[in-house]
Amino acid sequence: MVATTTEYAYNSKVEGDLVVSRADAVINWIRKNSVWPMPMGLACCAIELMAVGASRFDISRFGMEVMRFSPRQSDCMIVAGTVTYKMAEVVRRIYEQMASPKWVVAMGACASTGGMYRSYAVLQGVDRIVPVDVYISGCPPRPEALLDGLMLLQEKIRREPSARALFKPRPGEPGTVAAIA
């Protein structure tokens, strides 16, 4: 007999009025369907990022239409365009202000590798200052490419071991033992 790894919905089993499922599956199902992007439109890729919110492409199908311009209310930073060294510190500060769990999408050739700009002023990839989860190629990438990248991010979120992080004690909280040097 061949075991399948296909998960339907969030891998639940209904018994009467009770739904039984893994905590990881439920938490990740909620997280992947309610990603709130923080748009960092730094150059021409930002126009394509704006187009994704239009009715033709409809980012709301994925539960991502709530674009937040506050880092404390968002959990996915979409870096769209050329990151200069002058903006790099700002991008890093905004990333650090975002609540965990947080994800980063590098949209376009400039955000991913510096693009055609090999100069002293342009950062050669946003992954030098923040960890990137999904890279989207193109100059500028089409809105469909961004939607494909966001679906890849949703798949990555679905596979994360999230329940373990919920129950892991944080250092310095009551009930944890601090290491004595």
Distance CA 180, CA 143 (A): 53
- How do 18-20 and 13-15 pair as beta strands? antiparallel
Question: Which sign does the torsion angle of CA 92, 96, 97, 102 carry?
Answer: positive
* Bridge partners for 89 per DSSP: none
Q: Is the pLDDT assigned to residue 115 strictly greater than 70?
A: yes
pTM for the model? 0.78
Name the architecture of domain 36-160.
3-Layer(aba) Sandwich (3.40)
pLDDT tens per residue across span 34-87:
889 999 988 998 999 889 888 788 888 888 888 888 899 999 999 999 999 999
pLDDT tens per residue across span 142-157:
999 999 999 999 999 9
State both tokens at 133. Answer: 């989860």
Q: E strands within the chain?
A: 13-15, 18-20, 37-41, 76-80, 103-107, 134-136
Which amino acid, 102? K
